[in-house]
Amino acid sequence: MKWKRLEWLLLALVFGLAACSGQTAANPAPLTPYPTLDGIQVARGREVYTQRCASCHGQNAEGAPNWATPGPDGALYLAPPHDDTGHTWHHSDRVLYMTIREGMGDPLRSDAPLRMPPFGDTLSDADIRALIVYVRSLWSEEHRLYQWRETLKDFAPTPTPPP
C-alpha cells in the first residue's frame, strides 16, 4: 500500500515537471537569429521619423503631452510614445507595418475619421521598414526580444507591397 502511494507521488512529480517544461515551451527562444540593428536603416528611419512622425509622436518618440489621458469620449487618442514607455513594442512587425501603411482609427467605430493618417501612398516599403528598425533601436534589450517573439509568433509575415 505504501509503495503504491510512492508510485503515485512519482507519477505526479513527472507530470508536474512535464507541465512546467510545457510552460517554457509555450514561449521558446526564437529559432531565427535575433536581428541586430542595421545602422543605415536606423539612420534612415530616424530621418523619416523626424520628417513625418515627430510632429505627433514627439521629437524623441516620447509621445504627445498627456497622451495617456483619455479624451472626452473616454478613449486614448493622442499619439503614444514609441520608446519603452509606450506600447509599440507589444506589437509584431506586421502590425506596426500595417499601422504605418493604413493609419489607425477607433477599432470600435470603423466609420470615424482616422486618428493617425495612412502613409502607404507617400512612404516606400523600405522607408516603412527603416522606421520600424529605428523604433526598435529605442527599446531595451528585453522589449526588443519580446517584440521579436511577437513577430515570430504572428500568423502572417510582414507584408510586402507589389513592386
Does the protein bind ligand HEC through residue 41 (CB under 6 A)?
Answer: no
**Is residue 158 at the binding interface for ligand HEC, with CB under 6 A as the rule?**
no
Q: Does 56 bind ligand HEC (CB under 6 A)?
A: yes
- The answer for residues whose C-beta is within 8 angstroms of residue 111's C-beta and 6 or more apart is none
145 binds ligand HEC (CB under 6 A): no
What does the DSSP 8-state code read for residue 89?
A: G
Q: Residue 144 has which C-alpha cell?
A: 526588443
Choosing from 87, 111, 113, 121, the residue that interacts with ligand HEC (CB under 6 A) is 87
Q: Cβ atoms within 10 A of the Cβ of 37, count?
A: 13
Number of other residues whose CB lies within 10 A of the CB of residue 64: 16
Does 52 engage in binding with ligand HEC (CB under 6 A)?
yes
Chain positions 110 to 129 lying near ligand HEC, rule: CB under 6 A, are: 115-117, 119
Q: Other CB atoms closer than 10 Å to residue 63's CB: what's the count?
A: 20
What phi, psi does 156 have (nearest 5°)? -135, 150
- Determine, following the binding rule CB under 6 A, whether residue 58 of this chain makes contact with ligand HEC: no
Residue ranges in contact with ligand HEC by CB under 6 A: 52-53, 55-57, 76-80, 86-88, 91, 96, 99-100, 104, 106, 115-117, 119, 131
